[in-house]
Structure 1
Amino acid sequence: MSEQRYEVVFRGDVVPGQAIVEVKQRLAELFAAEPARIDGMFSGRPVVVKRNLDRELAQRYQASMRKAGAVVDIRPAAETEATTAGSNEVNQEPPQLPDEQVDVAPVGADVLTPEYRRDFTPANIDTSYMSIAETGADILQDNEKQPVPDRQVDTSHLSLDDPE
């Protein structure tokens, strides 16, 4: 029986706190690829970055991409892909979905693992000086209004042609 092979899959997720523009730039440097090609990886669909890898090499790809700010998954390669040679090009084909059932978390459940959670401290901002005007109300005070001069604009030289 042959050794299990893996593929590295990117879905466009970035490490929390990373700017997507900077992540794209670092990935372009990492893969020595054109920015347009890297932009295609952020389409929202899974992209197989590298196929036919042993587990150790797949984990090194994952670590390198995480260092660049990208979150990738390592998945077992399909049998047909395990026999093909790996490619240095980013493959735009999405991987096959597993036959397992996908479940949705219940309302209010924590969906982030502890490593991705950040402490949240609400800001105490004084808004007591603010008010809300009624719909359609003039929001400028009389002393804030500037008169709009009447202008005479001559449009007699303009005409409309028949579109046919």
Structure 2
Amino acid sequence: MSRRRAVAWIVVVTLAVCAASALTTETVFRADSDSMSPTIEVGDVLVAARHRGGGPGRGDVVVFTDPGGWGERVAGLLGREDTPSTFVKRVIGLPGERVACCTAGGALTVDGEPLAEDYREAGDELASVLAFDRTVPAGSVFVLGDARAASIDSRYLGSVPITSLIGTLQFVVPLGG
């Protein structure tokens, strides 16, 4: 790690921790997966605003705790020794909506309408190699990683209860990749 990068890391983490502690409405995380690439890279520092009632909107990037069984299944599927307990994904479907994949052009649909996903990697034609058609339960959200091929998400593990959400991503400090 270069000296400049090390100093930047120390300053950013110190400021983020101070802000999170002082405000108690923000939480700081470090990305440890490439499932949200190119939006978030491994090693990036994430600051999320805690949820205080209500839920996120479509397209929001959320941080959530394991809603039950995600950590063990992800660890098993990826052959990891550690079991993740916190996840970062993008909200695609809201309570009561029908999320499906894919149109003839390879797009996701929400309630039958194609979803524009400008945050995904250019040239990534298919929104998912796994076909699915799910209705999001009340009190839950349907989440996907931006890097679909590297993400284990609601397609495989189901919707996430809003009560499991820690917060919505406010900003990313790019220290990864």
TM-score tier (shorter): under 0.3
What TM-score, normalized by structure 2, do the two folds share? Answer: 0.19
**Which of 1 and 2 has greater Rg?**
1
Greater RCO (Cα-Cα under 8 Å, separation 6 or more): 2
What TM-score, normalized by structure 1, do the two folds share? Answer: 0.20
